[in-house]
Amino acid sequence: MEQILNFHQPQRRTFIQTSVAASVSLAVFGLVNQSEAWALEVKALSPSEAKTMLQLCRDIYPHDRIGDEFYAVAVKGIDSKAQKDSKFKKQLTDGLKDLDARAQKGFKKAYVNVGWEIERNKVLQQIENTAFFQSIRGDLVVSLYNQEGVWPVFGYEGESASKGGYINRGFNDLKWL
């Protein structure tokens, strides 16, 4: 599915079983503490790269009420893909290196250490049209938002048919108009 959302053509199609991957990943680690979020199993990325990737993912789609564990699921998915695809892995490591270089140039710090989101955004704006950025963003739009665990943050109630639909569960309960 993420291939459909990428802007580069033509590509071989692969469909990722995101909801299955998400539930497996969450079972692998029950960590909430941000400082340990990248202790998750990354094989292709180094721990430091995983930490940068985590911050990048949050900065692309920042939701203050979504915990790191959900962004970490996305990072783990990206890492799995990099384990199987050496070209993709190179794109990642080059992209992260470039990201840090730009952060150093602008703020004299590695990307994860640039303290303010608004400053990190200035770095991202420089790379938003790169294949690296677009491929992370395109992946994330499914791997982050397709996790059932994040839906309650938005109020979205998910699957409905087995609960009898909404005919008796407030489909027309709006009273403020």
Partner 1 sequence: MANKFDLNDDSVAVVIGSGAGGGTLATELALKGVKVVCLEAGGRHEIEDFINDEWASFGQLAWTDMRMTSGSWRVSKNFPNLPAWIVKSVGGSTVHWAGASIRFQEHEFKTRTVYGEVKGANLLDWPVTLKEMEPWYAKAEDRMGVTRTNGIPGLPGNNNYKVLEAGAKKLGYKEVHTGRMAINSQPRDGRGACQQIGFCFQGCKSGAKWSTLYAEIPKGEKTGNLEVRTNCHVYKIEHDNSGKVTGVVYFDKDGKSQRQKARLVAVAGNSIESPRLLLLSASGKYPKGLANSSDQVGRNYMRHMTGSVYATFANPVRMWRGTTMAGIVQDESIHDPKRGFVGGYEMETLSLGIPFMAAFLDPGSWGREFTTALDAYEYMAGMWLVGEDMPQASNRVTLHGKVKDKHGLPVPNVNFDDHANDLAMRDHAYERGVAIYEAAGATRVFPTAPYPSTHNLGTCRMSKRPEDGVVNAYGRTHDIKNLFVSDGSQFTTGGAENPTLTIVALALRQADHIVGLMTKREI
- For partner 1, the binding residues (CB under 8 A) are 1, 3-5, 7, 9-11, 13, 15, 18-19, 59-63, 65, 121, 124, 128, 137, 141-142, 144-146, 150-151, 154-162, 164-167, 169-174, 176-177
What are the structure tokens assigned to 159, written together? 């699957």
> Which residues touch 10 (CB under 8 Å, ≥6 apart)?
none
CA distance linking residue 26 with residue 72, whole number of Å: 9
Query: In terms of C-beta density within 10 A (0-12 exposed, 13-18 middle, 19 or more buried), how is residue 145 classed?
Result: middle
Q: To the nearest whole angstrom, how small is the minimum distance from the Cβ of residue 99 to partner 1?
A: 14
Nearest to partner 1 of 35, 172 (CB atom):
172
Shorter beta-carbon distance to partner 1: residue 1 or 39: 1
Q: Between residues 106 and 149, which has the closer beta carbon with respect to partner 1?
A: 149
Of 19 and 46, the one with the shorter C-beta distance to partner 1 is 19
Contact, 93 vs 87, CB < 8 A?
Answer: no
Sorted by sequence, the CB contacts under 8 Å of residue 37 that are 6+ apart come out as 31, 54, 68, 69, 71, 72
Instruction: List alpha helices for 66-158, DSSP H.
Output: 68-84, 86-107, 117-127, 131-143, 151-154
Q: How far is the CB of 129 from partner 1 (least distance, A)?
A: 10
Q: What's the min distance (Å) between Cβ of 159 and partner 1?
A: 4
Cβ at position 109, least distance to partner 1 in Å: 20
Considering the complex, what minimum distance in angstroms separates the CB of residue 128 from partner 1? 7
Q: Which is nearer to partner 1, 5 or 32 (CB)?
A: 5
